[in-house]
Structure 1
Amino acid sequence: MQHIKDIEKLLKNELSATETYQQALDTLKADVGLGESEVLMPLLEEHKEALASLQALNQRLAGEPTESSGAWGAWAKIVLGGANWLGKESVLKALLEGEKSGADDYKSALEDTELLADIRALIETKLLPAQHAHIGTLELLLVA
């Protein structure tokens, strides 16, 4: 079933996002005086909520449990690890690119004409708007 594969892909993306945000927060908190961690914490929490919502849907549809962020998660860790060496701006840019990629994946899932109505509603009303809000927040942090 294609919708289960879609959910599993989105699950891996959200798992990767939670791992990446946690790593970024750990890095930014280490730099005393940087307030970005206070702004990024709610974004991490929203990714955790998205992950829980997708896990519930996946379980209901008898999809495979997703406990690894897979290749994308490994790549994100490498990119963010390199960004950590380059400073705050690079960390924020890495997060922004991840958010844009996530938004593209949600849009791609919505193109599936056989996508179940409850999955479509979750993406349209909660997950994709959150991605767009995260993109806006990160863009503001980058110009500040």
Structure 2
Amino acid sequence: MSDIQSINRLLQNELSALETYQQALDRFRKDTALGEFDFLMLTFQEHKAAACSLRGKIKQLGGTPTQDSGPWGTWAKIIMACATLLGKQAVLKVLREGELTGTEDYEKALQDHGLHPDIRVLIANSL
């Protein structure tokens, strides 16, 4: 797999996270304690910055950044819709599981010894 494909896959994950956090923020804006809302917003902003960094790296390498979250994003929307029906705790659990999956994907990318060193540094230091 090329570096651009690897980064685009990570970008899809970030876009999925953005969509999922946006759903949570929209749904629980009024029902969430200020600290919880602030934490959700901070995490949303971190995913937004990560997506921006990944887009920049893809463009720098001459690729075209993906514009959508792909199949994983569709799946995440379905899971989030179901969790929303069950309440805030279910949503928070879905978000936590998504974070763990995202971390695993970044760790897998770092294990790819063919990945360009600049990309490895970006992932290890920023993402």
Pick the TM interval, shorter chain: over 0.9
Match of 1:34 in 2: 33
Separation in 2 of the partners of 1:37 and 1:28?
8
Deviating beyond 3 angstroms after TM superposition, the runs of 4 or more aligned structure 1 residues are none
Please state if 1:120 is matched with 2:123: no
Separation in 1 of the partners of 2:13 and 2:73?
7
Give the Å deviation of 1:38.
1.6
Note the aligned Cα RMSD (angstroms): 1.1
Unaligned runs of 5+ in 1: 128-144
- Tell me the amino acid that sits aligned with residue 101 of structure 2: S
Residues 68-124 of structure 1: per-residue CA shift (max 9 Å, x gap): 100000000000010000001000000011101100100110111111111101111
Residues 13-37 of structure 1: per-residue CA shift (max 9 Å, x gap): 0011111101111111142x53321
TM-score under structure 2 length normalisation: 0.94
Match of 1:54 in 2: 54
Please state if 1:83 is matched with 2:80: no
Match of 2:68 in 1: 68
Match of 2:13 in 1: 13
Give the Å deviation of 1:3.
1.2
- Tell me the amino acid that sits aligned with residue 64 of structure 1: T
Separation in 1 of the partners of 2:96 and 2:63?
29
Q: Which has the higher contact order (CA 8 A, sep 6+)?
A: 2
| Contact 1:28 1:34 (C-alpha < 8 Å) held by counterparts | no
Separation in 1 of the partners of 2:27 and 2:33?
10
| Contact 1:25 1:40 (C-alpha < 8 Å) held by counterparts | yes
Separation in 2 of the partners of 1:114 and 1:5?
13
Separation in 2 of the partners of 1:72 and 1:22?
16
- Tell me the amino acid that sits aligned with residue 44 of structure 1: F
Figure out how many residues of one structure are paired with residues of the other and give that number. 126
What percent identity do the matched residue pairs reach?
Answer: 51
Give the Å deviation of 1:45.
0.4
Separation in 2 of the partners of 1:63 and 1:111?
22
Report the secondary structure of 1:65's partner residue: coil
Separation in 2 of the partners of 1:86 and 1:63?
41
| Contact 1:84 1:90 (C-alpha < 8 Å) held by counterparts | yes
TM-score under structure 1 length normalisation: 0.83
Give the Å deviation of 1:39.
1.5
